[in-house]
Amino acid sequence: MKKIFLIPLLLTAVYFTSCNGNADQDDYDSSLPQPAYVNIPPPAPIIFNIDNSYPHDASSFTQGLEFYKGKLYESTGGFQQSKLRIVNLQTGAAEKSFTLPDPTIFGEGITFLNNKLYQLTWQNNKIFEYEPNDFTKPIRTFKWSREGWGATNNGKEIIISDGSAQLYFTEPDAQTGQMKVNKVLTVMSNAGPRDSLNELELINGYVYANRWMTDVIIKIDTSNGHVVGEMNLSGLLKQYAPQEQVGAEAVLNGIAYDSASKKIFITGKDWPRLFELSLK
Per-residue pLDDT tens for 13-72?
Answer: 333 333 343 434 444 565 666 556 668 999 999 999 999 999 999 999 999 999 999 999
Q: DSSP state, 242?
A: T
Domain spans in the chain, listed from the N-terminal domain onward: 8-279
Angle at 223 between CA 163 and CA 220, to 5 degrees: 45
Per-residue pLDDT tens for 115-160?
Answer: 999 999 999 999 999 999 899 999 999 999 999 999 999 999 999 9
pLDDT at 31: 63
Cα separation, 175 vs 46, in Å, equals 42
The CATH homologous superfamily for domain 8-279 is: TolB, C-terminal domain (2.120.10.30)
* Pairing of β 116-121 and β 107-113: antiparallel
In contact, 196 and 181? CB cutoff 8 Å:
no
pTM: 0.88
Nearest alpha carbon to residue 268 among 220, 122, 90, 241: 241
In contact, 243 and 231? CB cutoff 8 Å:
no
Mean pLDDT of 213-219: 97
Per-residue pLDDT tens for 246-261?
Answer: 888 899 999 999 999 9
